[in-house]
Structures are given as structure tokens and as C-alpha cells.
Amino acid sequence: MNVGIAGTGRMGAAIATRLLGQGHAVSVWNRTPAKTAPLVAAGAKAAESPAALASASEAIITILTDAAAIDAAYTGPAGLLAGDVKGKLFGFAGATDADFARAKPLLEQMCRRIEHVGPVGAGASMKLAINLPLLVYWQALGEALSLARPLGLEPARIMDILADTSGAPNMLKNRAASIATQLAGGDVPPTVEIDVMRKDLRTMIEESRALGVALPVTARALECFDRASRDGLGAADCTKMPAYWVERGGR
């Protein structure tokens, strides 16, 4: 299948690499063209515009950062919707039954489990719901570590203990070592930046307002993330967030 990828950040690049490995023809576009260079070297084709990407693709997957990036990719004379689109299919689990059936074989090559959760937009709403407890957890973990700090335990040991409890999400089992490194004063290469998590938290709160529901814990977590960003940690890895709270003395 000819697949177009709009947005070649970490996730978009990983998806493109996976699809190339599965034998698909992949075209890529990014607002910063230089970011497509490694994928082009790996066999992908660079599209000059979103419209050109749409014209060259049977299916399009968009991995975009925020509303501004989405507007830039979709609208305008060179946007995705201006291209010669042979069926407006996007690789999301929010779609009509027919579109989801068409996308499912492609999605199955990238995902371990596929759920069709509703019409267009439902996939994005479900993603917000799934990520909300995880993003709030980073702040909650920092607060928990503030309580444990007076015990004087080594960072690796305290993280090993926490990861083996009923309160630990699966994520912690993979991230405990990175968090311990941050607690010990070290650093790790960023995989998911604090500013990206702030963007997701803001989107969650905007969604809740549209639905008429309250997210008080999420709103408070966003305030803490905002403070970390103001202190210069916006580009730091998410594992820095709990360490940052401990460094501030839990205040």
C-alpha cells in the first residue's frame, strides 16, 4: 500500500520506519523538511506539500503536535484536503465502519490491538482519556517520592520498590531506571518532553470544558507542569518531572 505520513517527529518517524520494514511504499511530509531526511535515506519519498502527499497516497497517517500543526497540514491550497484524495481515510480508530475495515489491515501491522471506538474524532477522545491518568501520575509520583525522601533510600532501590507495588502503572516498570537516574542527579535523553505532556494536558482540559465535565486533578497537574517548564525543563524528558518535584522539596 502507498502510505503517507504527515508529521515525522519521534512517533511519526517510528511508524514510517515500521511500514517501510513491512514492505509498504511510504511518502513523508513535515513542516521542517530536514526532519524527513533520515526516512528518505531509508527508502521513503519526500512530499513537497501535504497536498502532494495526499495525491501520492492510498492512506494517510497524521502524527501532529497541536492544533496549529493540524491546521497547517490539512487546510489551505496545499493542505491534505486540497490534494487528489481517493477516499478520505486516516489511520485513526475513529471512523465509519467501512473506512475502519479498509484501514484495519494496515493498522494491524503497526498495533498489537485495534479498537474501533466510534466515529471520526472518537479515537482522539479515547486517547485523551487513556493518557490522562498516566500524565497525572508523573506529578503524583513526584509527590510520593517527596514523602519517601526522608528515608534516605538509594534512588534505584526506592524505584524498584515502587515499581513492584499495586500502585505502579506498567509504564513505571520500563521507566523506573530513568527516573532513578534523574533522582540521582543524572540526565537521560528526552523521549517524551515535558512540554509535549503540557500540550496534552491542556487539550484534555479543553475537551472536558466542551463536554461540560470537571477535571480538577488534571488542572492542578497542568499547573505543576507549567511551573517545571517555566523553570527551563520544557525540553527535558518526562522522567524529570517527579525528580523536579523532589528537588524542589515537594513545594
pLDDT of amino acid 13: 92
β-partners of residue 28 are 5, 46
List, in order, residues 6 or more apart from 41 with CB less than 8 Å away: none
Domain boundaries along the sequence of the chain: 2-108, 122-247
Choosing among 3.40.50.720, 3.40.50.1000, 3.40.50.740, 3.40.50.620, the CATH entry for 2-108 is 3.40.50.720
- Provide CB contacts within 8 A for 130, sequence distance 6+: none
Sheet holding 45-46, edge to edge: 45-46, 25-29, 2-6, 59-62
- Tens of pLDDT along the chain (251 residues)? 788 999 988 889 999 999 998 888 899 999 888 989 999 999 999 988 888 888 778 788 888 877 777 777 877 778 887 765 574 434 457 889 998 898 888 888 777 778 888 998 888 888 888 888 989 999 999 999 999 999 999 999 999 999 888 888 878 877 888 899 999 999 888 888 899 999 999 999 999 999 999 999 999 999 999 999 999 999 999 899 999 999 887 67
Q: Which three cell numbers stand for residue 130?
A: 487513556
Cα-Cα-Cα-Cα dihedral sign, residues 223, 229, 232, 233: positive
Residue 92's pLDDT is what? 52
Give the CATH fold of the 122-247 domain. N-(1-d-carboxylethyl)-l-norvaline Dehydrogenase; domain 2 (1.10.1040)
Pairing of strands 59-62, 25-29: unpaired
Judge whether 139 and 241 are in contact, CB under 8 Å: yes
DSSP character for 232? I
Q: How far is CA 48 from the centre of its chain?
A: 25
